Amino acid sequence: MKRIKYIIISISFLIIVISSLLLYKYYPVIEAYYYNREISISGVKLLMTEEELNSSFEENGEFVPGMGGNGWRFSKEKIFVMTSSIGLFKDKVSSIDTENSSHSILGIRIGDNYDSALSVLEKYGFKESSDNIFTKDNVLIQLTGGSKISRMRISIQDPAYKDVVF
């Protein structure tokens, strides 16, 4: 009887440890899917593959090679997308940049008042890490412009490469 209890407790502990490790490793993926519900940028979502990205537009994106990832510029939509070349997000969208007033991130649009955008970000728990850059866990949102927003970016960072500079 003691042996059965020991086996059950050991298996339970092992399941908890494995689940915790998986959650730790894939938490950024869960975050990306959470924020994808709040992104309205011509169907572009975080963690899309390059193939999905290019097939979702009439025009092919202009390929922009980079270090640590590649870029895709869609001039007609005023979108610039970065894909990662390493880690958990390899060949998947890790950053979306827009200047199109019909797009929104967390309900914030180009042309919105900076102060109202700031209150939305605070509502979602984002903190300002530096000038116009707001972070929460592995997600980064950058707002550009003066009193009115002229450009927005949302990025998801792989924790293993968070502090790596390419």
Ramachandran area for residue 39 (φ above 0: left; ψ -120 to 50: alpha; else beta) = beta
Q: What is the pLDDT of residue 134?
A: 96
Longest Cα separation, the chain: 71
Domains of the chain: 30-161 (3.40.33.10)
pLDDT digits (tens, 9 = 90+) for 9-19: 999 999 999 98
Structure-model confidence comparison of residues 87 and 32, the more confident one? 32
pLDDT band at 164 (very low <50, low <70, confident <90, very high): low
**Is-contact 98 39, C-beta < 8 A?**
no
Order across the sheet with 39-40: list the strands. 39-40, 104-105, 108-109
pLDDT band at 166 (very low <50, low <70, confident <90, very high): low
